[in-house]
Homo-oligomer: A and B are copies of this chain.
Amino acid sequence: MQLAEIQNTLSPELKNPKLILFAGDHGITEEPVSLYPKDVTWQMVLNFLSGGACANVFAKHSHIEVEVVDAGVDHDWENNTPGLIQRKSRKGTSNFLKSKAMSLDEAKDSILHGIELLNETKYESTNIFLFGEMGIGNTSAASIILSHLTEIPLRKLVGRGTGLNHNAKENKIKILSEAYQRTGKLKDPIEILSEFGGFEIGMMAGAMIGAAAQRKTFVVDGFIATAAFAIAFALNPAVKYYAIFSHLSEEEGHTVILEHWKIKPLLRLNLRLGEGSGALAAYPLIELSVKFLNEMASFADAGVSNTDAK
Contacts and interface: CB of A to CB of B under 8 A. Distances in A.
A4 interface: no
B57 A302 contact: no
A305 interface: yes
Contacts of A291: 57-58, 60-61
A269 interface: yes
A47 B302 contact: yes
Nearest to A34: B307
A47 to B, nearest CB: 4
Given A47-B302, A291-B57, A296 B52 contact: yes
Number of identical monomers bound together in the oligomeric complex: 2
Contacts of A40: 304-305
Contacts of A292: 54, 57-58
A46 B284 CA distance: 27
A167 B83 CA distance: 62
Closest 4 CB pairs of A and B: A52-B297, A284-B284, A47-B302, A43-B304
A116 interface: no
A288 B39 contact: no
Contacts of A295: 57, 60
Interface of A: 35-37, 39-40, 43-44, 46-47, 50, 52-54, 56-58, 60-61, 162-163, 165, 266-269, 280-281, 284-285, 287-288, 291-292, 295-297, 301-307, 309
A166 to B, nearest CB: 13
A52 B300 CA distance: 11
A281 B285 contact: yes
Given A35-B309, A61-B291, A163-B307, A43 B302 contact: yes
Nearest to A306: B36
Contact of A302 (B52, B267, B269): B52
A172 B292 CA distance: 31
